[in-house]
């Protein structure tokens, strides 16, 4: 079939490690007129989905798949979600869409998702895979490539590499990163993305998806495995996919990312800004690299608007405002993605610092003039 005669809906995967900037890019894209007729499917790691609340244009075109990570436990749910979207558009329950963007979890392996798109007959007849865009965090990717096999695979399987957070690194670091990415994936063009801003025209440079290249995926994966073994990276075991669980159904969380876990906190009372920052600083200081990601919606004392908090490893980003409270409910909802080994002590420390009484003025002055004594009590 020639590309022009192919009327199937193009599907793009937007992948990239935890906190790399996928939702920020999607937020920009869903507001661009060129992408007015696209649908978005967001998959999240963890029990509490937040990303779909953070994509500004929340309407029926944005669908969340939160029953697990699509690369491991919920390939059946992915197939159901794709079917449901298609049937809803057919019944005019949602606007017909001409492109589908799937945001994977930050830990996803793109390969099984590609497999689902090709193997399910219903889907293969209605959707065509149109390539993977991998968002790469200029500041953190070096450490992620060294420690996480998922990050290496996301880069290696990309059709286009989108480098975010260039503002956080110097020119030499950026040049070294670009050379490293070219070494890992010489075929993928690289684009710089500034706070999510990238012209959606990159999507036109994708297709037609190179069938020859996709045949080489197996070869590429075999090469990656041997590279990873040499580098001493843990290769996640791939579990058997569970059946056709409906979207949002509670399925037993089977995950290939077994050394990583998530937990969430909901707090009904407003939090003092100083307490929240102290709690975040404490877990960042004590658990460093084991804290992969923190994100959430926060109800700060004295603030009527919801605020969005983002942390990636030891980095905390400036708080931003969100228009409305999700589901009209004012409460703090925080999601942590951490190495399983530290989950309990990290959660306990966070709760303890959050619940601690406000320091007195004397204590604050003392801490200010004796900074060396800070953080040495653990």
- Phi/psi of residue 158, nearest 5 degrees: -70, 145
Minimum distance from residue 85 beta carbon to ligand GTP (Å): 20
Q: Is 21 in the site for ligand GTP (CB under 6 A)?
A: yes
Residue 105 phi, psi (nearest 5): -70, 160
Q: Interacting stretch for ligand GTP, rule CB under 6 A, among 89-97, 152-160, 174-182, 192-200?
A: 192-200
Q: How many residues bind ligand GTP (CB under 6 A)?
A: 22
- Among 77, 160, 164, 261, which residue interacts with ligand GTP (rule: CB under 6 A)? 164
- At closest approach, how far in Å is the CB of 36 from ligand GTP? 21
| Least CB distance to ligand GTP at residue 62 (A) | 14
61 touching ligand GTP, by CB under 6 A = no
Closest CA to 23 of 250, 343, 320, 329: 320
Lay out the site mask for ligand GTP across 265-304 (x = CB under 6 A, - = otherwise).
----------------------------x-x---------
**Smallest gap from residue 104 Cβ to ligand GTP (A):** 9
The reply on whether position 53 binds ligand GTP by CB under 6 A is: no
Integer Cα distance of 131 and 349 in angstroms: 42
Applying CB under 6 A, which of residues 99, 118, 168, 225 lies at the interface with ligand GTP? Answer: 168
Cα–Cα dist 378/376, whole Å: 6
Residue whose pair of structure tokens reads 């653990």 in the numeric block? 378
Q: Is 194 in the site for ligand GTP (CB under 6 A)?
A: yes
The region of 16-24, 72-80, 81-89, 370-378 touching ligand GTP under the rule CB under 6 A is 16-24
Judged by CB under 6 A, which stretch of 11-19, 70-78, 179-187, 201-209 contacts ligand GTP? 11-19
Q: Nearer to ligand GTP by C-beta: 24 or 148?
A: 24
Cα torsion 114, 118, 121, 122 to 10°: value is: 50
Whether omega for the bond prior to residue 208 falls within 30 degrees of 0, making it cis, is: yes
Contact between 20 and ligand GTP per CB under 6 A: yes
Q: Does residue number 30 form part of the binding site for ligand GTP (CB under 6 A)?
A: no
Residue 316 beta carbon to ligand GTP: minimum distance, rounded to whole angstroms:
9
Among 98, 195, 213, 266, binds ligand GTP (CB under 6 A): 195
Between CA 224 and CA 204 the distance in angstroms is: 28
Residue 320's DSSP bridge partners are 308
* HEC per residue, 42-105: EECCCCCCCHHHHCCCCCCCEEEECCCCCCCCCHHHHHHHHHHHHHHHHCCCCCCCCEEEEECC
Residue closest to ligand GTP (Cβ): 106
**Is position 106 an interface residue for ligand GTP (rule: CB under 6 A)?**
yes
Binding residue for ligand GTP, selected from 275, 310, 313, 333, defined by CB under 6 A: 310
Nearer to ligand GTP, 94 or 273 (CB): 273
User: Does residue 167 belong to the site contacting ligand GTP (CB under 6 A)?
Assistant: yes
- Binding residues for ligand GTP (CB under 6 A): 16, 18-24, 51, 106, 164-165, 167-168, 194-196, 293, 295, 310, 312, 317
């Amino acid at each position: 079939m020639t590309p022009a005669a192919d009327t199937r809906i193009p599907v793009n995967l937007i992948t990239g490690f935890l906190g790399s900037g996928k939702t920020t890019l999607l937020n920009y894209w869903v507001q661009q007129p060129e992408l007015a007729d696209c649908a978005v499917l967001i998959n999240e790691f963890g029990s509490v989905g937040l990303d779909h609340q953070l994509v500004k244009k929340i309407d029926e075109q944005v669908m969340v798949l939160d029953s697990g990570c699509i690369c491991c436990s919920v390939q059946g749910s992915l197939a159901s979600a794709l079917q449901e979207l298609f049937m809803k558009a057919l019944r005019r329950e949602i606007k017909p869409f001409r492109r589908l963007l799937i945001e994977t979890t930050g830990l996803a392996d793109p390969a099984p998702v590609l497999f689902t798109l090709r193997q399910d007959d219903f889907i293969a007849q209605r959707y065509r895979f149109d390539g993977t865009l991998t968002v790469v965090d200029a500041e953190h990717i070096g450490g992620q490539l060294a420690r996480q096999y998922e990050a290496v695979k996301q880069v290696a399987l990309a059709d286009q590499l989108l480098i975010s957070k260039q503002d956080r690194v110097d020119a030499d670091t950026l040049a070294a990163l670009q050379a490293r990415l070219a070494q890992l994936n010489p075929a993928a063009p690289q684009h710089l993305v500034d706070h999510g801003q990238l012209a959606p025209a990159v999507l036109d440079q994708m297709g037609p998806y190179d069938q020859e290249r996709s045949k080489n995926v197996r070869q590429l994966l075999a090469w990656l495995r041997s590279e990873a073994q040499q580098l001493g990276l843990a290769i996640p075991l791939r579990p058997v996919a569970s059946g056709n669980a409906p979207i949002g159904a509670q399925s037993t969380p089977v995950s290939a990312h077994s050394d990583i876990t998530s937990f969430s906190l909901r707090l009904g009372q407003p939090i003092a800004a100083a307490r929240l920052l102290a709690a975040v600083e404490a877990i960042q200081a004590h658990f460093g690299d084991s804290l992969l990601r923190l994100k959430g919606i926060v109800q700060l004392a004295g603030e009527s608007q919801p605020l969005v908090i983002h942390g990636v490893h030891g980095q905390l980003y400036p708080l931003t405002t969100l228009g409305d409270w999700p589901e009209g409910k004012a409460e703090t909802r925080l999601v942590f993605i951490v190495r399983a080994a530290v989950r309990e002590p990290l959660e306990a420390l966070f709760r303890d610092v959050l619940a601690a009484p406000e320091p007195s003025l004397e204590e604050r002055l003392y801490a200010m003039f004796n900074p060396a004594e800070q953080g040495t009590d653990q």
